[in-house]
Amino acid sequence: MNTWLKIASNSDFSIYNLPFGIFSTSKNKPKIGTRIGDFVIDLEQLRKLGLLQIPHNIFNQSSLNPFIGLGKKRTNNVRLQIQKWLCEDNSPLKKHFDHVFHKIENIKMHLPVKIGDYTDFYSSIEHATNAGKIFRPDNPLFPNWKHIPIAYHGRASSIVISGTPIHRPKGQFKPADASSPVFGPTKEMDFELEIGAIIGKNSSHGESINISESEDYVFGLVLFNDWSARDIQRWETLPLGPFLGKNFASSISPWVVTMESLSPFRVESPTQDPAPLPYLKVDGKRNFDINLEVKLGNNIISETNFKQMYWSIAQQISHHTINGCNLKIGDLLASGTISGSEPNSYGSMLELSWGGKNPIKLKNGETRTYLKDGDEVIISGFCKKNEIRVGFGEVSGRILPAIS
């Protein structure tokens, strides 16, 4: 496909992508747009011009939820129509260019969806094994791990848009040599490299989603950073799992990349041994080849890929609903930390510094075990196959000192 718009050849937002997000300008309240190159296309404006046949009060919203609720056929038709116009010389987009295109530097992005429930999985075998080795050297992977896409519920209220600064959380933790817990700002501030699936269809309470249909319930994917305070987490986690060590903030990338635009990048899932129970068995290409990178300031500290995840999104959804738990449009299912097998492919400081034992070196001569105040973490991701590139942009956040 060729578009008449000039787009950098390495842009994440190629003609093949056209993700959806919520933007505002100095003149306009938040509404729905799509992105191409360094421009945002104002979908509400296109509707007002009579060019998109979408009910009013869909695009003019501060979340994608009502739009997603129209169903994949209609939402993807919008994407395909824009794509067509961007390739046609005689195009209404060209004609109305000044009314519907905004330069990316003139807009502000917002949370793309109103998130009802947020679930965090734990689906990378490398991460689960690493975390296990660090915390429980004798028993790294629990016996249930290869049978269950392990997950827990997270906090939806504290999910913020990329770029939001994150205050170092305070809390209680117990130093190894102390007899009782102490209070203060976390000393083990961490990030977690994840990908989040945005649910695109409601399921009924009581209903189990068959695995062959489970991807129909995903609208698209985002990058996700599940900030963590390891010392707080370690002290609180028994017996009910992580709570304050996680729920102070998570960051999300602004553009939801649709399942349709990711379909060229599907790959086979890793072999699962032992075979999972029948409700988790699935054929076809259920994983996605997404290159991922984490920068700490201008240092690339991790490079990995989403394709080797042990449990696929399809399996996560069938597991989540096998007991009748209902999913709602806008729910977020995050992958859990994505780590590769090499030390430079780990998706958290916990793993990169091996529990704080092996500091990593930065270009400026400093070292890090966990994050310092002022550190900025930037996660980016893209897919590439032949000349087709579809990317996520980035999710970033800078650590601010604890509020006193």
Which residues form the catalytic set? Answer: 127
Instruction: Give the separation between CA 339 and CA 350, rounded to whole angstroms.
Output: 11
The Cα 382–Cα 386 span in angstroms is 13
Name the residue nearer to its own copies (CB basis): 110 or 266.
110
Kindly indicate which of the ranges 149-157, 341-349, 356-364, 388-396 contains the residues binding its own copies, using the contact rule CB under 8 A. 149-157
Residue 16 binds its own copies (CB under 8 A): no
Among 215, 331, 375, 394, binds its own copies (CB under 8 A): 331
Q: Of 34-53, which residues contact its own copies (CB under 8 A)?
A: none
Q: Tokens 């950073």 belong to which residue?
A: 225
- Total residues contacting its own copies by CB under 8 A comes to 63
- Pick 57 or 157: Cβ nearer its own copies: 157
CA 350-354-356 angle, to 5 degrees, is: 75
**Cα→Cα distances 236→120, 215, 232, 239, Å:** 18, 35, 6, 8
Judged by CB under 8 A, the residue of 44, 236, 351, 394 near its own copies is: 236
Is residue 172 a contact residue for its own copies (CB under 8 A)?
Answer: yes
**Residue 267: strand, helix, or coil:** strand
- Work out how close the CB of 157 gets to its own copies at its nearest, in angstroms, rounded to a whole number: 5
Q: Provide the edge-to-edge strand list for the sheet that holds 166-167.
A: 166-167, 388-400, 376-385, 291-296, 299-305
Using the rule CB under 8 A, give the single segment among 49-57, 66-74, 239-247, 344-352 that binds its own copies. 239-247
Give the nearer residue to its own copies in terms of CB position, either 322 or 388.
322
The answer to whether 74 contacts its own copies (rule: CB under 8 A) is no
Rounded-to-integer distance, Cα 37 and Cα 286, Å = 28
Smallest separation (angstroms) from its own copies to the CB of 251: 12
Helix, coil or strand: residue 331: coil
Q: Does 144 bind its own copies (CB under 8 A)?
A: yes
Residue 325 to residues 204, 279, 281, 318: CA-CA distances in angstroms?
8, 15, 19, 10
Contact positions with its own copies (CB under 8 A) in 100-119: 116-117
18 vs 349, which CB is nearer to its own copies?
Answer: 349
User: Residue 354 — left, alpha, or beta (φ > 0 → left; ψ -120 to 50 → alpha)?
Assistant: left
Of 26 and 179, which has the nearer Cβ to its own copies?
A: 179
Min CB(119)–its own copies separation in Å: 8
Measured between alpha carbons, how far is 233 from 278 in angstroms, rounded to an integer?
34
Among the residue ranges 188-196, 314-322, 340-348, 365-373, the one whose residues contact its own copies (CB under 8 A): 314-322
In this chain, which of 307, 319, 368, 389 binds its own copies, going by CB under 8 A?
Answer: 319
Return d(Cα 383, Cα 381) in angstroms, integer. 7
- Within positions 253 to 312, which residues make up the interface with its own copies, using CB under 8 A? 274, 277-279
Nearer to its own copies, 15 or 314 (CB): 314
Beta carbons within 10 angstroms of residue 223's beta carbon: 27
Is residue 42 helix, strand or coil? strand
User: Per rule CB under 8 A, is residue 247 in the interface with its own copies?
Assistant: yes
- In this structure, what token pair is assigned to residue 332? 């977020």
Choosing from 50, 56, 137, 183, the residue that interacts with its own copies (CB under 8 A) is 183
Among 48, 133, 155, 398, interactor with its own copies by CB under 8 A: 155
State in angstroms the smallest separation of the CB of 288 from its own copies. 24
Using the rule CB under 8 A, which residue among 55, 175, 324, 374 binds its own copies? 324
Q: Does 68 bind its own copies (CB under 8 A)?
A: no
Three-state SS string across 223-263, please?
EEECCEEHHHHHHHCCCCCCCCCCCCCEEECCCEEEHHHHH
Residue 376 burial class via C-beta count within 10 angstroms: exposed 0-12, middle 13-18, buried 19 and up = middle
Instruction: Kindly state the smallest distance separating residue 281's Cβ from its own copies, in Å.
Output: 12
Cβ atoms of 371 and 189 within 8 Å: the answer is: yes
Query: Which residues contact its own copies (rule: CB under 8 A)?
Result: 116-117, 122, 132, 135, 142-144, 147-148, 150-158, 160, 167, 169-172, 174, 180-181, 183, 205-208, 229, 232, 235-244, 247-249, 274, 277-279, 319-320, 322-328, 331, 403
